[in-house]
């Protein structure tokens, strides 16, 4: 198993890609901390699935927009297992909206969840990763950060910021054997369903249209997260890998 006894903290881990990644890491032997902000039932369900695999699991409620809550969550992981080997910054929101209709509040909230949340969680785990002399940080971008897309200007801006943050963090943390990479995935989730509905309403696109990319279940993108979390990627840092069925090809 490629992640035997590693400790992984996954934000937005209660459903979609986060859930798939948590289960994939557990199957590879990792101990899992899943963080969510609102849906306790969903967190509990994923925890049961992880426990059924035979792995240790810790559920955490925290809002990644709030630094004090993030710090408390990370301390709980450190108190439980003494280390954080892998951080997956997956928490996100999506509110499809025409550019001219994005409110100031929506703009600020989208950036806070995605970009500031990624910053908060990364900064919170770096001291312990430096102390242990290793770490893997995996951020999550989106195709809209790399190509134009209708109805997601705030989301795309936040994801573009995550890409820039990834490259700068990777450069700064190289001396400490901490690899920071970014995955830009597309999968069938509540977010893509909301985007499809919006695009169908405003552009007349059929439900399953996402460029010419074939949508897959979240489980199909999880192996790429495993690669960036395990020793196979020790010589890879500061990179952005699109896992999108060729959407950005």
**Catalytic positions, written as ranges:** 155
∠ CA 20-244-108, nearest 5°, is 80
Tell me how many helices (H) and strands (E) the chain has. Answer: 8, 7
Cα separation, 129 vs 137, in Å, equals 10
∠ CA 183-188-189, nearest 5°, is 85
What string of DSSP letters covers 1-18? -TTTT-EEEEETTTSHHH
Closest CA to 182 of 166, 165, 169: 166
For 141-164, b/e burial (b = at least 16 CB within 10 A) is bbbbbbeebebbbbbbbbbbbbbe
Please name the residue ranges forming H helices in 28-90.
40-53, 67-81
Cα separation, 56 vs 198, in Å, equals 39
Strands (E), 98-244: 135-140, 178-185, 240-243
């Amino acid at each position: 198993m490629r992640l035997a006894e590693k400790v992984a903290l996954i934000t937005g881990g209660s459903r979609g890609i986060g859930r798939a990644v948590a289960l994939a890491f557990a199957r590879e032997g990792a101990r899992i901390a899943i963080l969510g902000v609102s849906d306790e039932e969903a967190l509990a369900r994923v925890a049961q699935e992880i426990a059924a695999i035979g792995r240790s699991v810790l559920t955490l409620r925290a809002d990644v927009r709030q630094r004090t809550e993030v710090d408390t969550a990370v301390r709980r992981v450190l108190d439980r297992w003494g280390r954080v080997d892998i951080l997956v910054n997956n928490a996100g929101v999506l509110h499809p909206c025409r550019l001219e209709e994005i409110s100031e509040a929506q703009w600020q909230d989208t950036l806070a969840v995605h970009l500031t949340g990624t910053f908060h969680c990364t900064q919170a785990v770096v001291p312990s990763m430096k102390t242990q002399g290793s770490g893997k940080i995996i951020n999550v971008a989106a195709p809209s950060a790399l190509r134009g897309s209708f109805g997601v200007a705030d989301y795309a801006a936040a994801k573009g910021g995550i890409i820039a943050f990834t490259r700068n963090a990777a450069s700064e943390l190289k001396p400490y054997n901490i690899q920071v990479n970014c995955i830009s995935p597309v999968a069938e989730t509540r977010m893509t369903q909301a985007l499809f509905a919006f695009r169908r309403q405003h552009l007349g696109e059929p439900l399953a249209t996402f460029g010419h990319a074939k949508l897959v279940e979240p489980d199909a993108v999880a192996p790429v997260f495993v690669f960036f979390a395990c020793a196979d990627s020790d010589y890879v840092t500061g990179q952005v890998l699109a896992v999108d069925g060729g959407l950005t090809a």
